[in-house]
Structure 1
């Protein structure tokens, strides 16, 4: 008899340990590990004991068994919610890593907050800063310098963010652009022993065994990597790019903080929503994460080199190849291009003025071909990434930062350049609307007139267009409430950056005029990658346009006839998108649960205070029993809804 009772108690305890956590997890939608499941079951079992203590008489305990179960379930749900808030679900060592990373993030976040306070930026982080107009950062004149100093103090990741922002003429005012353009970050070289250990770990042997010669003095030191000169056993000179040991964790932490701050600003500050800080932060984070994996740069190099070789575009612009056998995630071994960056001090520009102009045309044609034909282009062609080689050619290096365009965007960009070439404001408007994120309402006629004035100002006879073309275009787009996608902004940013490089290479070089010449057939566009080389897509678009024009009179006749006879109607499919239906279904579901929880709670209060009704026992009425159960039911639903709201706000 005693053994049977013990078995029954053990089975009941095991049942509670398993069933209550499962039900609580299903109600809340939380996935937890075994340890937390057992703890939840223990809390639920303790809840049953607590409920039994509160319900003193045996007759009440029998009638209110459902109430006891409900109290246990509510306690289990509360435990899961609180534990999830304190320590998010993870397992084993993953949980410890999560806790450590959270502590490190909090410490770093406090440092960033302290920097912001010291430089007077805290009001803007709370969304209370002033705003001087659309497309401008808050408090332009007085905020630019403190922001630049705060970014410098924040470290390499924030400096890199400032450098990216300094090229976004479409987002920031001239005061910010000028101040952020001063950002430079001098990085101390890494300890040679740590670099040697990094190479040893990557290759599985010392660098002296991999290379016939390895210069331990770095050629260049940046925040993410350092560059060394070496020679292979085959006698080929190479450049070895090595990622700094342990740099990934710090950069990932800072990127996470930047994205969190962007989401916070998006909720609190209107100026942040206008600037699209969330999209900007996420795009920046994705770009930096690509730079952390050198295999991405190797693939970018292979893609551009393969497309360049297929066109037989000429030897004026050289792209180094990667040594695949020695390259990986943390180390990239590249063919050495003997020469110096155009931006290096003391670099001599050899050759005549015409020869340097030819090199500039080749460099411009290379980038335009990458943008308009290949779809993968060098996104940061500043003078430090452009080499003037010893043999007089041009070398492109550092493909860690690249832009990628799909076929539709490339087609719109070709139409955009053709419209500029022919000074057609209507075609320019149509191409621009295909490039940008189009709002629901837009004044197309006003935009066309603005574009007409834009072309008259910059492309009329006798004018000399410069980098201000891109600045004014960004301003025009922003003034009409249009948003430029990051990949399109990267194109204009790269062209604006290239303009300064081309001016150093060939003073007085007209990037706009040369781009128009590159696009025309009489400048060898077929060989260089101009519009003649993409004639098939243009013919297809022209054919589509002619087909539409042929159908247009017949369709206009149908519309006017239906309008005259009163038969014109518009069919709109409401909720045709599955995402809209899913959202509406979830919304209705949550509303129904909320109404049901409130109704059950109200009915419970009414029934528990009712004085009439049949007596179930001598001390409790039927309405009271029903009321207790409805109250617990309402509590369970309310807990679930509160957790849904909490999860949506995280």
Structure 2
């Protein structure tokens, strides 16, 4: 009976003892330590308590009184707690908190590693299947030497990207707009990824529709075509008719795409971080930031409620300039969701396949269409601050009358009024050929480092203006690329909203070339920006601006005399003080904290070494066992601590980052 009772009470007693030790250790350390580490230290303390007590106790337990037993037990518990605390400190030095994931995080990380490994193997198989394996060897490979060979390689690349899934399709779409970087055969072939991705079977689309609508789709639509109008990387579009006869299009997200995208983005973000850490060009281009921006934009495209709201914002922006002949469809929020978007069906042909329609227009009319599209984009950027960042030919519809329709507003750019003003000043300064004003506008737009050679930057920008902004220049994308290279060379960072503007311009250049091959992007943008700046200088606009500025300045002017009087009174009576906040900058705080840590480690290491020397020189004292004395044991332990701390300080002093 007693044995069974002891067995029943053993586990609760052990649990209570471990929890008590854990509470004591956390309280004595005064620093919050991870629960798993604390429990391990408490288990260690419980295990060593009995050996420590037996070492402290006399050889004959019968001679120990009640008070002595209590003191010996308390001393044993305290020594065990100190040893557990020391083990926690050593563990914190070797493996700081957060360096290892917890059990749940470790399990999730292991699952993600398995999924990444499977995805890596899938990608490698796709690359090998399409004959691109030689580019994985890590060595420079000779490129194709003929146009036919380039076309074959471009077709293989397009097929591999298409099979790789939505993330790689989006990367291909971005590459298709960079005709300054890729041969024309690659840019033309990758353009097919913009609206001709592999369609999803109708059965899967029907399942998504039913799940998102919450009812059979035939209760909402009188008719819906099972063959898609277009199959893009994120979704595919089907023509349909509402029960009231309204012609609409239904944009349905590809089933299971979210999990695939998150897995690919995880790989992409890891690759971006690795490239930025290990390569000079990765740090110069900010690859991690570019990958993060791409990931954020792609995640935004996966939520169709974002596109629904973007359609409303863009429709409001375009309503102010109907003369450009650009419109967007109207969404139906009541029957739309995160994965389904129902919109009006705009008439027209995708611009990428609208060559027969363009052939019916003369050169003057095509120039007007291109200029209207450019003016519309500049209105979005300079006036409204909301603009389409991906105007490739697949996202534009051309009607028979020459009007244009914007599609796929899943990702739009937004810029604040200050940035819009700086962009307008930049274009106006480029039009005047003023390199000083262009440099000033660029420094307002970009993230500048602490030291910038503005004079050298002005010279480089002046050379670019002479080369690319001369009348009749038609090298818009090359100018943007040269400007970005200039930013990189001078250590200037491009904020994401400004980078979106550059991306929109480079994408639009290729689209405008389809409408009018000889279209002067730089000249037209310069002239259009000049008209907008001149429009803001009318008497009415100047009066409004003056009223706004006065309404802001007048409260400050009314309070200025009182402030001056207070300052004068404080000076007269000797009460003038200056409040300066020390270490307001994070870098200053980190520097001082690091120095204090190094000083403390040095002092503690030296003190531990001195105490170790003293303890090792003491004869006698209490004994841990028959052949081991307590003082030498503590001395050797402190000597190890001293050596470790001094070595930590020395490695920090001599290390060169």
Q: Find 1:48's aligned residue among 46, 49, 68.
A: 46
Question: In 2 relative to 1, CA 176–338 (structure 1 residues): closer, same or farther, beyond 3 Å?
Answer: closer
Question: Equivalent of 1:14, from 12, 16, 26?
Answer: 16
Q: Which moved more, 1:409-418 or 1:353-362?
A: 353-362
Give the SS at the match of 1:212.
strand
Does structure 1 conserve the Cα–Cα contact (< 8 Å) formed by 2:381 and 2:415?
Answer: yes
Aligned: 1:323 with 2:332: yes
1:348 to 344, 357, 363: 357
Give the secondary structure class of the aligned counterpart of 2:342. Answer: strand
Q: Hey, what's the Cα distance between the residues in 1 that align with 2:537 and 2:521?
A: 17
Deviations 1:280-320 (A, max 9, x none): 111111111111111111121111212332x2543711111
Give the distance between the partners of 1:148 and 1:541, measured in 2 at CA: 58
Aligned-residue offset at 1:499:
2.3
> SS in structure 1 opposite 2:323?
coil
CA 1:302–1:392 in structure 2 vs 1: closer, same or farther (change >3 Å)?
A: same
Question: For residues 203-226 of structure 1, what are the alpha-carbon distances to aligned partners after superposition, in whole Å with 9 as ceiling and x for unaligned?
Answer: 101211121211121111122211
1:207 aligns to 2:229 (yes or no): no
Provide structure 1 residue ranges, at least 5 long, that are not aligned to the other structure.
131-140, 548-570, 646-650
- Does the 8 Å contact 1:326/1:332 carry over to 2? yes
Give, in whole Å, the separation in 2 of the partners of 1:272 and 1:359.
Answer: 39
Task: Determine which of 95, 102, 105 is the counterpart of 1:88.
Answer: 102
CA shift, 1:498, in A, is 1.5
Greater alpha carbon shift after TM alignment, 263-272 vs 426-435: 263-272
* Cα distance between partner residues in 2 of 1:223 and 1:245: 12
Whole-angstrom distance in 1 between the partners of 2:527 and 2:246: 39
583, 587, 595: which is aligned to 1:580? 587
Quote the Cα distance in structure 2 between the aligned partners of 1:538 and 1:113: 62
Q: Is there any run of 5+ residues in structure 2 with no aligned partner, and where?
A: 59-71, 142-149, 554-577, 653-657
Aligned length: 582
- TM-fit CA distance, 1:605: 4.7
Q: TM-score, normalised by structure 1?
A: 0.75
Deviation for aligned residue 1:56: 5.4
- Aligned partner of residue 408 in structure 2, secondary structure: coil
Aligned to 1:490: 500
Q: Which has the larger radius of gyration?
A: 2
1:366 and 2:376 aligned: yes
Displacement of 1:50 in angstroms is 4.7
Cα distance, 1:578 vs structure 2:
4.5
SS in 1 for 2:331: coil
Cα distance in 2, alignment partners of residues 452 and 542 from structure 1: 35
Q: Tell me: CA distance 1:275–1:214, structure 2 relative to 1, closer, same or farther (3 Å).
A: same
Q: Work out whether 1:333 is the aligned partner of 2:342.
A: yes
State the 1:370 CA deviation. 0.7
The CA distance in 2 between the partners of 1:429 and 1:86, in whole Å, is 47
Partner of residue 612 from structure 1, selected from 619, 623, 627: 619
Secondary structure (helix, strand or coil) at the match of 2:410 reads: coil
Residue 164 (structure 1) shift: 2.7
CA distance 1:358–1:214, change in 2 (3 Å): same
For residues 471-497 of structure 1, what are the alpha-carbon distances to aligned partners after superposition, in whole Å with 9 as ceiling and x for unaligned? 333333334443333322321221222
CA RMSD of aligned residues (A): 4.8
Determine whether 1:195 maps to 2:202: no
Q: Which residue of 1 aligns with 2:567?
A: none
The answer to whether the 8 Å contact 1:375/1:404 transfers is yes
* Alignment counterpart, residue 419 of structure 2, candidates 409, 428, 431: 409
Query: 2: distance between equivalents of 1:510 and 1:425?
Result: 21
Q: Alpha carbons of 1:451 and 1:83: their partners in 2 closer, same or farther (altered >3 Å)?
A: closer
Query: What does residue 306 of structure 2 align with?
Result: 296
Normalised to the residue count of structure 2, the TM-score between the two structures is 0.74
Counterparts in 2 of 1:525 and 1:352: CA distance versus 1, 3 Å: farther
Tell me the distance in 2 between the aligned counterparts of 1:473 and 1:617: 75
The aligned runs of 1:384-423 (5 Å cut-off) are 384-423=394-433
Aligned 8 A contact 1:70 1:632 in 2:
no
Deviates more, 1:430-439 or 1:591-600: 591-600
Render the CA deviation track for 1:487-528: whole Å, top value 9, x for unaligned.
22321221222222223223432222322332344x9975xx
Q: CA deviation at 1:234?
A: 2.4
Residue 603 of structure 1 contacts residue 627 of structure 1 at CA under 8 Å; is this kept in 2? no
Q: Could you say if the C-alpha distance between residues 207 and 258 of structure 1 is closer, same or farther in structure 2, counting changes exceeding 3 Å?
A: same
Partner of 1:508: 518
**Is 605-614 or 358-367 further displaced after alignment?**
605-614
With over 3 angstroms needed to count, the CA separation of the structure-2 counterparts of 1:607 and 1:177, relative to structure 1, is farther
Which of 499, 512, 523 aligns to 2:509? It is: 499
Decide whether aligned partners of structure 1 residues 338 and 496 sit closer, same or farther in structure 2, where only a CA change above 3 A counts: same
Distance 1:269 1:282 in 2: 18
Distance change in 2, residues 1:154/1:414 (3 Å): same
CA distance in 2 between counterparts of 1:487 and 1:373 reads 15
Greater Cα offset, 192-201 or 61-70 = 61-70
CA distance in 2, matches of 1:16, 1:627: 29
**Cα distance, 1:156 vs structure 2:** 3.5
